[in-house]
Amino acid sequence: MTDKTIAAPLAAALAAKGYASLTSVQQAVLESDAQGRDMLVSAQTGSGKTVAFGLAIAPQLLDGDSLPDAVAPMGLAIAPTRELALQVAAELGWLYAQAGARIATCVGGMDYRTERRALERGAHIVVGTPGRLRDHIERGSLDLSALRVAVLDEADEMLDLGFREDLEFILQSAPEDRRTLMFSATVPPAIEHLATTFQQDALRIQAQGESRQHGDIEYRAFTVAARDREPAIFNILRLHEARTAIIFCKTRANVSHLLARMGNRGFKAVALSGELSQQERTHALQALRDGRAQVCVATDVAARGIDLPGLELVIHADLPTNSETLLHRSGRTGRAGAKGVSALIVMPSDLRKAQMLLKRAKVEATWSPAPSADEVRAQDDTRMLDHPALHRNAEDDGDMARLLLDRFGAERLAQAFVSLWREGRPAPEELTVLQDRAPAAPRERPPFGEAVWFSLSVGHTGRAEARWLLPKICDGGGINRDAIGAIRVREDESFVQIAVAQADRFGKTMELEPGLTMRRLDGEPDLNRGPRQTEARPARRKPDAEGKKNLRVESPGDAPASAKVRSKPRWTAEERSTKAAARVGGPKAGAHKAAGPKDRGAKFAAPRKDKPRKGGR
């Protein structure tokens, strides 16, 4: 490294690690206007943030080219999870090794006494999680009186995980003249508020590429039937055969269920969830790093900050809750110039949610059905034909090869090779082809009246559906749904009826939004084209105040909604009161089980005393 702003021991460490140049965020924190200032830095996951703040805090730690004796910690780095804190400590360890730095960790799940002894021996830099750091401060084992610089890594995640109070306690325990650096993938209002509270004249740095998708990540969205969710995941894994893959689930229960299913299919998989002990988590990560496992099934919280070498595939088994989480998850792959794939599993009910997530994350995804069993088999055959053993000369094995040919013949040897190649690989799954589903039978509906037909420029190939088109048409013409008749979605275009009195509002053509044009037709379209027909959703029943489904809510395109009570409740209020009183004061235990509708008054009945309740409650 030739950058003169980098201290000699750090430059030597970077050179030994193979750094030929710095990333954009690493260069930004070394600019002259950033020297000595508080900083609020936003940069994508995998952009080299740990090394960036390691370089940025050097002026506050180093005395020339070495570190002074550590009476109390001079540097503090706070991370949201155990794994990320340990990774930060490891990165700072090699970066400051030649400067003689002593680095202590304080993270949940580790032995408290071991951490206390490390702090008593003296540490230049302490790396920890918010809860454990606060615990050490309160017990008197961590003294921040000499702190010169504090770093909050993944600050947005720490706030999401509910660590705000702990962070405030830690920062208030440090000297006011310290330097404070905040690194975050995104900067929501909560982070800005935290920055104004604990930073002074902070320099805002937005690393190049924050507002666009990772250039080395290919986003794929796979549409699958609800019952094919897990088989689709298995086929995606088989199609890519990534060295390491991670599957994100919404809950611990989903992680456990999917892990069991994968084990039954023959995948080498491990889990990461909050219910695991630190030792179990460490073993799972080690299995992924040394190749004993290829797939990690994890929750968002458990996978915060983990860095798995060779991670080529991220699968969102459950869609993330927001665009920031989508980017965080996807950022596990496509790191340090490597290529990666981020695959979303999208069921029909989640289609709009997936589209909005991608739009808000400002990423472009390729949409397609999930890979079929035939596609997986074809990819397997291609890999087999490209196997290195078939393309290199193995002279040492020539005698054995000739012996095998003489004994078994070329055809049987080839069959044995194919069998060995396929052995141990999970069989591909047969999936439902959504496009081949039979259309729903049309419902009888009252005549709409005199109308004009319009065509719209999107159809099934553009993922259009009636409930998505309806509000756009209403907004475009300033009409309500009563003026809209039938909506028919075909393969490449859609058709809609507009009442004659409202048809002129749309003119000959109207652009409802970019890429969606509505054009008036001279007559009735040919609705028999194409294999599919999309009808408005059937009427649904909505419960009334008595808890019974009595109100009929009309679907778009029906006659105006009419709220009609189907029937009165089977019991009057007086009858219900009489029966409730009988249950409370009746002479027989169990009288409340008499036939008739359930009543909430039963919860006031005297408890039975003939046998103890289960569970000790």
> What domain count does the chain have?
3
Boundary-marking domain end, from 144, 174, 206:
206
- What pLDDT does residue 141 have? 94
Same domain membership, residue 237 and residue 182: no
Boundary-marking domain end, from 476, 496, 520:
520
245 vs 545, more confident: 245
Does the residue 417 lie in any domain? no
**What are the tens digits of pLDDT across the range 94-123?**
999 998 999 999 998 788 899 999 999 999
- What pLDDT does residue 529 have? 54
Closest residue by Cα to residue 133 from 106, 113, 153: 106
Q: Which value, to the nearest 10 degrees, does the dihedral of the CA atoms of residues 454, 456, 457, 460 take? A: -130
Does the residue 477 lie in any domain? yes
DSSP class of 484: E
Same domain membership, residue 308 and residue 191: no
Boundary-marking domain end, from 502, 520, 538:
520
Please determine, for residue 21, whether its predicted confidence score (pLDDT) is greater than 90: no
Lowest model confidence (mean pLDDT) among 4-8, 80-84, 167-171: 4-8
Does the residue 607 lie in any domain? no
| Burial letters 64-85, b for 16+ CB under 10 A, else e | eeebeebeebbbbbbbbbbbbb
User: Tell me, what CATH number does 457's domain have?
Assistant: 3.30.70
Dist CA 150 CA 152 (whole Å): 7
Does the residue 600 lie in any domain? no
Same domain membership, residue 334 and residue 189: no
**What are the tens digits of pLDDT across the range 282-300?**
888 888 888 899 999 998 8
Confidence of residue 433 (pLDDT cuts 50, 70, 90): low
Please determine, for residue 556, whether its predicted confidence score (pLDDT) is greater than 50: no
Same domain membership, residue 353 and residue 223: yes
Same domain membership, residue 199 and residue 74: yes
User: Tell me, what CATH number does 330's domain have?
Assistant: 3.40.50.300
Does the residue 442 lie in any domain? no
- What pLDDT does residue 574 have? 53
The amino acid that residue 502 corresponds to is: Q
Same domain membership, residue 315 and residue 183: no
- What pLDDT does residue 383 have? 82
Please determine, for residue 565, whether its predicted confidence score (pLDDT) is greater than 60: no
Neighbouring C-beta atoms of residue 121, cutoff 10 Å: 10
Same domain membership, residue 106 and residue 83: yes
Parallel/antiparallel/unpaired status of strands 451-456 and 516-520: antiparallel
- What pLDDT does residue 464 have? 83
Does the residue 609 lie in any domain? no
CA distances from 96 to 62, 88, 120, 389, 593 (A): 10, 12, 20, 44, 74
Same domain membership, residue 143 and residue 240: no
**What are the tens digits of pLDDT across the range 587-616?**
444 444 444 444 444 434 444 444 444 444
- What pLDDT does residue 539 have? 43
How close are the terminal C-alpha atoms of the chain, in Å? 67
Give the three-class secondary structure for 320.
Answer: coil
| Burial letters 440-460, b for 16+ CB under 10 A, else e | eeeeeeeebeebbbbbbbbbb
Residue 204: strand pairing partners = 40
Please determine, for residue 270, whether its predicted confidence score (pLDDT) is greater than 90: yes
| Chain mean pLDDT for the chain | 79
Give mean pLDDT, residues 582-587. 47
Confidence of residue 248 (pLDDT cuts 50, 70, 90): very high
- What pLDDT does residue 73 have? 94
> Sign of the C-alpha dihedral, residues 248, 253, 257, 263?
positive
Alpha helices in 369-499 (DSSP H): 373-385, 398-408, 410-422, 466-477
Q: Does the pTM of the predicted model rise above 0.75?
A: no
Confidence of residue 586 (pLDDT cuts 50, 70, 90): very low
Same domain membership, residue 122 and residue 253: no
Same domain membership, residue 361 and residue 479: no
Q: Write out the residue range of the structural domain in which residue 227 sits.
A: 217-376
Structure tokens at 159: 């706030």
Does the residue 299 lie in any domain? yes
Alpha helices in 478-595 (DSSP H): 500-503, 573-585
- What pLDDT does residue 142 have? 94
Residue 521: CA atoms inside 13 Å, Cβ hemisphere, count?
16
Same domain membership, residue 266 and residue 354: yes
Q: State the residue for tokens 């069998």.
A: 419
Structure tokens at 582: 């009988």
257 vs 443, more confident: 257
Same domain membership, residue 267 and residue 175: no
The amino acid that residue 461 corresponds to is: T
Does the residue 435 lie in any domain? no
Strand ranges in 68-202 using DSSP code E only, listed in sequence order: 75-78, 103-106, 125-128, 149-153, 179-184
